[in-house]
Amino acid sequence: MKTVFLVVPCYNEEDALPETARQLHQKLSQLKEQQAVTAQSRILFVDDGSKDKTWEIIENLNAFDPDSFDGVKLSRNEGHQKALLAGLMEAKQHCDAAISLDADLQDDINAVDEMIQKMEEGCEIVYGVRSERETDSAFKRNTAHGFYKLMKLMGVELVYDHADYRLMTRTALDGLAEYHERNLFLRGIIPMIGYKTDKVFYKRGERTAGESKYPLKKMLSFALEGITSLSIRPIRFITALGILIFALSIIMLVYSFIRYITGQTVAGWTSIVFSVWAIGGLQLLAIGVIGEYVGKIYLETKHRPQYFIEKSLHKDE
Ligand code: UDP
Ligand code: MG
């Protein structure tokens, strides 16, 4: 029997949290009764610098049942990925395995049983995979699938239709701790850890309450983060494009030389104007892509701390 922590990052989740806590508490009690997990197993909420009553709710939960609820408060809003990392690293000190899940319970908590079972069979990482996406809007579904295809094209292997709902044993968490990246894209890093892994399938539901904290703008920047923090293929594409255009320019040179010899040099205004714009645009694009990576290198070399834990609620046995 293992000590399992459920790690839940929360950002402005005062609407969803009471119901989420109730359901998770019920699940955890049930697991403890079935002797699937030890009595030291807990739910760890990470408050990602919320501006609403999220932390008060977490404090109350901890006061009400310190054997079930732990809490960690980050000093400011760091985003889902860092909040999750903070939670996992905190949980690592007390548990044998941690399961990460969202505060809105869109991920079916009944998949937890199967995850624990797979762990008992020797898996170090168990991925929760959505068997269908009916409850997501067609737009979200299509952009998400487009994103997986794009990532594959960029040479990044992701687990298809897996978000951040997964079980990791302490061995896997120790592995994760060795990745000191500031530009964090957990879904891309975790498959690199290796070990024996498996998948558990579940249906994704609606949010229990509140609104999505991932509007389109955040989704796009998350996707860009994913690509540029894991793949250097965009730079290669640009190099290839540069070689191609250089080859074309040699053809153009031969062409214009022939025209010069035959005395037809006035023609060509259209092609010159077009070339100026095309090359100008491509150069800007190339500089932009390189800048994107230079920016990443800049952030990595600073070795800034990932997050600060302002408060921590944990009752030691
Ligand atoms: N979240 C967070 N920090 C943020 C944004 C979101 O910790 O800056 C948490 C949020 O509370 C939730 C999870 O990340 O538990 C996923 O967010 P959400 O459900 O809004 O995303 P969606 O499911 O719509 O992609
Ligand atoms: Mg959600």
- What is the full DSSP assignment across 143-161? HHHHHHHHHHHTT----TT
Ligand 1 touching residue 79 (CB < 6 A): yes
Hey, how many other C-beta atoms are within 10 angstroms of the C-beta on 154?
A: 17
Closest Cα to atom 19 of ligand 1:
212
pLDDT at 12: 93
- Ligand 1 centre distance from Cα of residue 244 (Å): 43
Q: Indicate if the pLDDT at residue 296 is higher than 70.
A: yes
Q: Which atom of ligand 1 is nearest to the CA of 213?
A: 20
What residues flank ion ligand 2 with Cβ within 5 A? 102, 104, 106
pLDDT at 97: 95
In tens, the pLDDT along 177-220 reads 999 888 788 988 899 898 999 998 888 777 766 777 777 777 78
Ligand 1 touching residue 107 (CB < 6 A): no
pLDDT average, residue stretch 266-274: 71
pLDDT at 47: 95
Tokens 């690509």 identify what position?
Answer: 227
- Ligand 2 centre distance from Cα of residue 104 (Å): 5
- Domain range summary for the chain, segments of one domain joined by +: 4-230+305-313, 233-302
pLDDT at 111: 92
From residue 294, alpha-carbon distances to 25, 64, 91, 213, 301 in Å are 45, 49, 34, 29, 10
Ligand 1 touching residue 164 (CB < 6 A): no
For the entire predicted model, the pTM comes to 0.74
CB-CB contact of 181 with 300 (8 Å): yes
pLDDT at 103: 92
Q: Which atom of ligand 1 is nearest to the CA of 13?
A: 11
Q: Indicate if the pLDDT at residue 23 is higher than 80.
A: yes
Local structure of residue 291 (DSSP, 8 states): H
CB-CB contact of 166 with 124 (8 Å): no
In tens, the pLDDT along 70-128 reads 999 999 999 999 999 999 999 999 999 999 999 988 888 999 999 999 999 999 999 99
CB-CB contact of 54 with 13 (8 Å): yes
Could you tell me which of 299, 308, 48 has the C-alpha nearest to residue 180? 299
Q: Which atom of ligand 1 is nearest to the CA of 84?
A: 7
pLDDT average, residue stretch 141-159: 82
Closest Cα to atom 6 of ligand 1:
80
Ligand 1 touching residue 10 (CB < 6 A): yes
pLDDT at 51: 94
Ligand 1 touching residue 80 (CB < 6 A): yes
pLDDT at 107: 87
Helix axes 186-193, 216-230, angle to 10 degrees: 40
Sign of CA dihedral 254, 259, 261, 262: positive
pLDDT at 166: 95
- Ligand 2 centre distance from Cα of residue 158 (Å): 19
Superfamily of domain 4-230+305-313: Spore Coat Polysaccharide Biosynthesis Protein SpsA; Chain A (3.90.550.10)
Ligand 1 touching residue 212 (CB < 6 A): yes
Q: Indicate if the pLDDT at residue 267 is higher than 70.
A: no
| Percent of the chain clearing pLDDT 70 (strictly above) | 96
In tens, the pLDDT along 232-257 reads 777 777 777 877 887 787 787 788 77
Summary mean pLDDT of the chain: 86
In tens, the pLDDT along 182-193 reads 878 898 889 989
pLDDT at 269: 66
